[in-house]
């Protein structure tokens, strides 16, 4: 019987650490439901001590998810662990993931603790976590640069204290696959009680080696991989869930284990995360990129037509391509709309909200004949607002004519007030942004303006991502509409609202 490779998804925690990739509580719940449908074993829902918003999001995921373990991250500090335990109280199955740095540079310069103090604190953290659950994971932060003898001592101590999973992170993406694999094997061989725990890995992609390092660790005995949808994450990101899962699934002749992931949910999950975060997937991205199963070379096309396996090692349908079939249209009723949203993991707290969304769905159906699942996700992301999103687009007139200077006129809601402005620009989008700035006077720097089609066809909704920066804070905003200029205005206001929200987070690196 093959070993079970545990898939630990940290899209909602480490993935959210990408600059501008913050998610609302409702968005986190939607993604968590998709991960649950996919069969993810452990969902790391966030870092409850980071902010009240993170606490509420972890609590909401814990209260919602039934088939996956829900995990909360905590530093090896009693207050952090208590906060995580409280957030996870409603979970069917809960895990607390605690960590402390073990490399000399981190212990000396960040923690200002001696090695003995670090061991003592790590053991205390396990003991505090056991008040809430027996499912405890421990990570020695910056393990890749830690001294092996000390690393063995720390890990042996936390196993004795009750840790069930040991996660070895390559926090800064520094190690090479052969080197990282040897580290996992060495730890398993040298730690006397290593047979009592599952070894896990959490690899960053700074050198483009996160998946390779993770798979090398699996070959050397790791049985949990920490990863994210689309490889989302801090700096260059994390190991991509879809690549790890499909590498192991495709090469069963090489790997002595397999996952329980329903791979047909991979592409829908990728599109959902991309839409919510506003981070588009590059076309040549493995598994989930638009070109992943495209063949342009005549030789390749001829080979695939004669026998698919000549140039394809996976089937597109096995990872969920082609699953965005038409399900709803302008004649669909409220019950069909509600049922499809529920299947997609989207539920509203009130009937009033559902009714509002149904009206907007009907408006979209009048503009766009074919409504796909991606359209519904974009509609909800675009329209469900959080308390911090104070400003909202009410109306927009944009004019562009050959030989004339484009201009735009906008009306924005500020609470119960209506604010009006108009401006010229180099194009309708530029004019719209200038008009909005006349109202907001934010002084923010526009760092990114990106447009992507949500589905195919000339009537497709456009999804716009806007990235703003001010005083070192970077946020992404996104908006969707069949009119690109309207989508752009929505995206700009979405980013502005996030930029000026008071939410502060203290994200750790693991």
User: Per the annotation, where are the binding residues for Mn(2+)?
Assistant: 14, 202, 204, 238
Q: Residue 376 CB: number of other CB atoms within 10 A? A: 20
**Measured torsion, CA atoms of residues 497, 498, 499, 500, in degrees rounded to the nearest 10:** 60
Output the CA–CA distances (angstroms, integers) from residue 471 to 278, 320, 439, 500, 509, in the order listed.
21, 41, 20, 11, 22
Q: Residue 160 CB: number of other CB atoms within 10 A? A: 13
Buried residues in 41-74 as b, exposed as e (16+ CB within 10 A): bbbbbbbbbbbebbbebbbbbbbbbeebbbbbbb
Kind of pairing, strands 462-470 and 473-481? Answer: antiparallel
Query: Computed from CA positions of residues 301, 303, 307, 309, in that sequence, does the dihedral angle turn out positive or negative?
Result: negative
Cite the annotated binding site by residue number: 14, 202, 204, 238
Phi, psi of 410 (to 5 degrees): -120, 150
Residue 72, beta-bridge partner list:
46, 96
Output the CA–CA distances (angstroms, integers) from residue 383 to 32, 476, 479, 494, in the order listed.
20, 16, 9, 10
Q: Please state, in angstroms and rounded to a whole number, the distance separating the CA atoms of residues 145 and 148.
A: 9
Could you say which DSSP state residue 331 is in?
Answer: T
Q: Please state, in angstroms and rounded to a whole number, the distance separating the CA atoms of residues 155 and 167.
A: 10
Residue 473, beta-bridge partner list:
470
Report the length, in residues, of the chain.
Answer: 510
Backbone region of residue 138 per phi and psi (left: phi > 0; alpha: psi in -120 to 50; beta: other values)? beta
Name the CA radius of gyration of the chain, rounded. Answer: 24
Buried residues in 203-229 as b, exposed as e (16+ CB within 10 A): bbbbeebbbbbbbbbbebbbbbbbbbb
- What crossing angle do the helices spanning 115-129 and 148-161 adopt, rounded to 10°? 30
List helix spans (H) across 333-417. Answer: 334-343, 351-367, 373-383
Kind of pairing, strands 42-46 and 407-414? Answer: unpaired
Residue 204, beta-bridge partner list:
238
The SS3 call for residue 24 is: coil
The SS3 call for residue 487 is: helix
Q: Please state, in angstroms and rounded to a whole number, the distance separating the CA atoms of residues 23 and 270.
A: 15
């Amino acid at each position: 019987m093959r070993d079970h490779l545990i898939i630990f998804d940290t899209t909602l925690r480490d993935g959210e650490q990408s600059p501008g990739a913050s998610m609302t509580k409702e968005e986190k719940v939607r993604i968590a439901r998709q991960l649950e449908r996919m069969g993810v074993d452990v969902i790391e829902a966030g870092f409850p001590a980071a902010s009240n918003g993170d606490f509420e999001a972890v609590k909401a995921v814990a209260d919602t998810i039934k088939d996956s373990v829900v995990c909360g991250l905590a530093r090896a500090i009693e207050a952090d662990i208590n906060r995580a335990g409280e957030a996870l109280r409603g979970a069917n199955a809960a895990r607390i993931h605690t960590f402390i740095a073990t490399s000399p540079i981190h212990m000396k310069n960040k923690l200002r603790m001696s090695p003995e103090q670090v061991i003592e604190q790590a053991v205390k953290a396990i003991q505090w976590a056991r008040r809430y659950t027996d499912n405890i994971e421990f990570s020695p932060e910056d393990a890749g640069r830690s001294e092996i003898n000390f690393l063995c001592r720390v890990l042996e101590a936390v196993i004795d204290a009750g840790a069930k999973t040991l996660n070895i992170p390559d926090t800064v993406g520094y190690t090479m696959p052969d080197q990282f694999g040897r580290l996992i094997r060495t730890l398993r061989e040298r730690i006397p009680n290593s047979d009592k725990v599952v070894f896990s890995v959490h690899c960053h992609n700074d050198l483009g080696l996160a998946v390779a390092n993770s798979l090398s660790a699996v070959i050397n005995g790791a049985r949990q991989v920490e990863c994210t949808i689309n490889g989302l994450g801090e700096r260059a990101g994390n190991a991509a869930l879809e690549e790890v899962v499909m590498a192991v699934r495709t090469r069963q002749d090489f790997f002595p284990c397999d996952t329980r992931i329903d791979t047909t949910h991979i592409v829908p999950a990728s599109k959902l995360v991309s839409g919510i975060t506003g981070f588009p997937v590059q076309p040549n991205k493995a598994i989930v990129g638009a070109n992943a199963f495209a063949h342009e070379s005549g030789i390749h096309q001829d080979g695939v037509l004669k026998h698919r396996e000549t140039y394809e090692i996976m089937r597109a349908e096995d990872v969920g391509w082609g699953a965005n079939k038409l399900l709803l249209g302008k004649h669909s009723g409220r019950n069909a709309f509600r049922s499809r949203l529920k299947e997609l993991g989207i539920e509203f707290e009130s009937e009033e909200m559902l009714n509002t969304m149904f009206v907007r769905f009907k408006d979209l159906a009048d503009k766009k004949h074919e409504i796909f699942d991606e359209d519904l996700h974009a509609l909800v992301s675009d329209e469900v607002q959080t308390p911090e999103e104070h400003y909202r687009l009410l109306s927009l007139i944009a004019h562009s004519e050959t030989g004339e200077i484009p201009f735009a006129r906008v009306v924005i809601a500020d609470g119960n007030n209506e604010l009006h402005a108009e401006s010229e620009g180099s194009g309708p989008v530029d004019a719209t942004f200038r008009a909005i700035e006349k109202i907001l006077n934010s002084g923010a720097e526009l760092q990114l303006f990106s447009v992507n089609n949500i589905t195919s066809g000339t009537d497709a909704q456009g999804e716009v991502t806007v990235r703003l920066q001010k005083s070192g804070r970077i946020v992404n905003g996104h908006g969707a509409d069949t009119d690109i200029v309207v989508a752009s205005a929505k995206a700009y206001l979405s980013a502005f609202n996030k930029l000026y929200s008071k939410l502060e987070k203290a994200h750790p690196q693991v």
